[in-house]
Structure 1
């Protein structure tokens, strides 16, 4: 099912546009905190009003571009998810046409149709909304690790130890609640 959804996703021509928009949106959202921090540092150290207005305009335009691209990403994602779901439902319907009538009559058709429709929409939505961000988050994690290594290796070790302790604490808390 996973391979089928991915195959149908990449068969759609708009999927490549969606990937490009996701990458650009990811870069904008990753760079925005740095730009905002640099802007605050600049305002503290520099009193030139024209530069402040110029930099704030750039940050505003980047923010607006991020919002517009996020809207385009969501709209395109819904269209592609609907198309892939429709294709999958069409193929399942074609498969049911090949099944013997005696087998089909033993099944509650309303329940089966509802279950298939729900499963197809959930699987398609999950695959399309989570596959590309997983790769982007891996790249972001590697970038953060490289950044920590360039700043201070001891800081990286400290962060890893703290993350492991945080994860263990979270798991232990969940086990106690359950």
Structure 2
């Protein structure tokens, strides 16, 4: 009997999916105030996900995509733009891409970077709980030959619906 219980315990533990720091933020959010979209250097324009026109955010537990754990829906008046939260490493010696999720209590961050030789385009997306509000931040950089030539900074304050 003990062997059967031990087997079932190990089996059930293996069946439970690995916790992800974005799990704590699953839900629907409304924007408080106006979202910020700002550029520095020679960034090519800071229009990612229609962030400056965002009216809400949905964090969805969704494993449909390639090595995906969640999907962020940046809601705008005409629909939404999606960004997958992923963990993978498809880098070769000097090209490819990778994504990595980190976080802890009241904080989650996902980095998604494409690399081509000495050039890369990292995108960081984070959510942090701050009292009754949540702070959504994104930073998108353009790295050429190891130098940051421009970045876009995005920030919005959210409340959970």
Scaled by the length of structure 1, the TM-score of the pair is 0.20
TM-score by length of 2: 0.22
**Larger relative strand fraction:** 2
**Which structure shows the bigger proportion of residues in helix conformation?**
1
Structure with the larger RCO, 1 or 2 (CA within 8 Å, 6+ apart): 1
Task: State the structure with more CA Rg.
Answer: 1
